[in-house]
Structure 1
């Protein structure tokens, strides 16, 4: 009996030791690879953004000293290419746009960028449905899993969050890339095209039409009195974000184009909500210095042509090129004859940003 008891104790001790050794080894692997490049003592390795949830990859990019300008928004500004903007303006843009980013998330992103870059040259904020159609929790919480410990907390606290299967998964992905066994998917400037190659558009027209057919229609219920003159509550947060930047920073508040299908009918809730949102942005631009407000999301040839979109919300790459050309022209005080652009507020001729 004593022999059996001794054997059992030996087995338990061996099993516990094996688990501790294995767990310790895996933890050491994770903190050495440091998949999100946030730990203060990890070795300097040429890491890349590896995680599909950009909320985990943006903090390290936001602290990168090579950037001096930033793009904030949802998927409707993910196609704005830093390389194109930089070539035109002599800037070094980071695109921090994230799928389904709530206003609260965008404000947290701005905070972490400003801590590393207190006087950015240009900040672009995409004003789309996330800002214009307030939803429960949009001003107080994230829309997807959010690593709050990466945003504003001491760097050492990251070690407390590395003992997880998710961290192990992403450390493995980062390691596979480091040793050349995994292809890079996400750009080092935050840009990654998430739409199909544009030369496939004609072959995918059926898919595009299906996206329109299955998209929820806009709310055309008659708007209540006074709604058009009452900007959404999200505008207070947007105003606060604009006010956190120094007056020397060029702030661009811009409405990306969505299909006119989503605009709704005049007098309906959808159309009136958009009208109230424009009013809110105009008011912010009017009382904050150095703010440019641009609107591409109004009825016109761009938004009324479905061939400009992959679905009612997401435009094609040629449209993105058109938007970037218009925005850079406005910043450089060059004339823009594009009917897709409506200048809501342009307070000055603008400095020549084509020179660093």
Structure 2
């Protein structure tokens, strides 16, 4: 029978309690130290220096860019980045690299909003030995929010991109990290798993095709309004203000592209609608962002133009195909080559 009262905690019971607590604390510290040493997401914090790289996901459709981009973002092989969500995902870094001679990496986070993308932007900038050559930021409608916001449905590991090592360690101390990600990363280190694509590009067209987005019924839906409509009539654009602060702190030699991704024409909103008013006000804010910093360009494809009237160029209202992406890449590359030209 266990002793009761404070006076009972003596002799064997006290020794047991002290031993148990000491063992538990030592075990926790040991696990934390091991995880820190292994650094299963290759954030570069481990005292054991390793070249950047993380294992490829088990299934192509289970992209884990939220975790993998910590490794890609610290990779000094890349001098330029594409940041945003799936609405800028179709831009292929290899094409931009070939066209400009600047190594690009895609740090896209599917289903992310401004808070997640700002965290990735900060991480990329923080891990450059020299000023970035270029940064492309996809400004879809979540960047028109009245405040900095994050996805309500897709949790993001802010701790992985945090400046604080304490926050990082707290994030590492999870059963899923120890049971799932550590074995995967060790398998990669020992050559048992392939490396994830270094430049981060992931082609979503085959995935959408398997889901039936090439069917006549899906194509017919393009002719109706976009079901995912976002409205902000407050006159406040907190997400854009937060981005303005980051842009102001970038070195002037970094070329910035603020890309308003295309939507199929029926997703623009009817004239005079709250959606159209939001879009117009937000466009003005984004234009002011570009005008307020030298070497910054607004690439606005969220307009009614021949390419956004062709259903062949779109999968749904907000996800476009390679044919459209190649034109956006060409526009960006032409500006970059002009900026880099001697005497420019």
TM-score range, shorter chain: 0.7 to 0.9
| Residue in 2 that maps onto 1:242 | 247
Alignment map for 1:305-320 (pairs within 5 Å): 305-320=310-325
1:296–1:216 distance in 2 versus 1, CA, 3 Å:
same
| Residue in 1 that maps onto 2:127 | 116
Q: Which secondary structure state, in structure 2, belongs to the residue aligned with residue 292 of structure 1? A: strand
TM-score normalised to the size of structure 1? 0.74
Tell me, yes or no, if the aligned pair for 2:307 and 2:313 is still in contact at 8 Å: yes
Q: Which secondary structure state, in structure 2, belongs to the residue aligned with residue 85 of structure 1? A: helix
Pair 1:128-2:140 in alignment = yes
Q: Which moved more, 1:267-276 or 1:166-175?
A: 166-175
- Counterpart-to-counterpart distance in 2, 1:194 and 1:331: 26
Tell me, yes or no, if the aligned pair for 2:258 and 2:298 is still in contact at 8 Å: yes
Q: Which secondary structure state, in structure 2, belongs to the residue aligned with residue 57 of structure 1? A: helix
**Aligned mate of 2:92, from 55, 71, 81:** 81
Deviations 1:229-271 (A, max 9, x none): x573332122212112011111111111111121011111112
| Residue in 2 that maps onto 1:3 | none
1:331–1:194 distance in 2 versus 1, CA, 3 Å:
same
1:246–1:120 distance in 2 versus 1, CA, 3 Å:
same
> Shift in Å at residue 219 of structure 1?
7.6
| Residue in 1 that maps onto 2:158 | 148
TM-score normalised to the size of structure 2? 0.76
Tell me, yes or no, if the aligned pair for 1:95 and 1:191 is still in contact at 8 Å: yes
Tell me, yes or no, if the aligned pair for 2:93 and 2:199 is still in contact at 8 Å: yes
> Shift in Å at residue 45 of structure 1?
6.9
Pair 1:166-2:155 in alignment = no
**Aligned mate of 2:256, from 251, 263, 267:** 251
> Shift in Å at residue 79 of structure 1?
1.6
Tell me, yes or no, if the aligned pair for 1:231 and 1:279 is still in contact at 8 Å: no
1:286–1:32 distance in 2 versus 1, CA, 3 Å:
closer
Pair 1:139-2:148 in alignment = yes
- Counterpart-to-counterpart distance in 2, 1:322 and 1:106: 24
**Aligned mate of 1:187, from 176, 179, 197:** 197
Tell me, yes or no, if the aligned pair for 1:31 and 1:42 is still in contact at 8 Å: no
Q: Which secondary structure state, in structure 2, belongs to the residue aligned with residue 100 of structure 1? A: coil
| Residue in 1 that maps onto 2:274 | 269
1:201–1:140 distance in 2 versus 1, CA, 3 Å:
closer
1:324–1:331 distance in 2 versus 1, CA, 3 Å:
same
Alignment map for 1:41-120 (pairs within 5 Å): 41-42=47-48, 44=50, 47-48=53-54, 50=56, 52-117=63-128, 119-120=131-132
Q: Which secondary structure state, in structure 2, belongs to the residue aligned with residue 315 of structure 1? A: coil
Tell me, yes or no, if the aligned pair for 1:49 and 1:188 is still in contact at 8 Å: no
Tell me, yes or no, if the aligned pair for 2:92 and 2:201 is still in contact at 8 Å: yes
Provide structure 1 residue ranges, at least 5 long, that are not aligned to the other structure: 1-11, 334-349
Tell me, yes or no, if the aligned pair for 2:53 and 2:71 is still in contact at 8 Å: no
Please report the RMSD computed on the Cα atoms of aligned residues, expressed in angstroms: 3.7
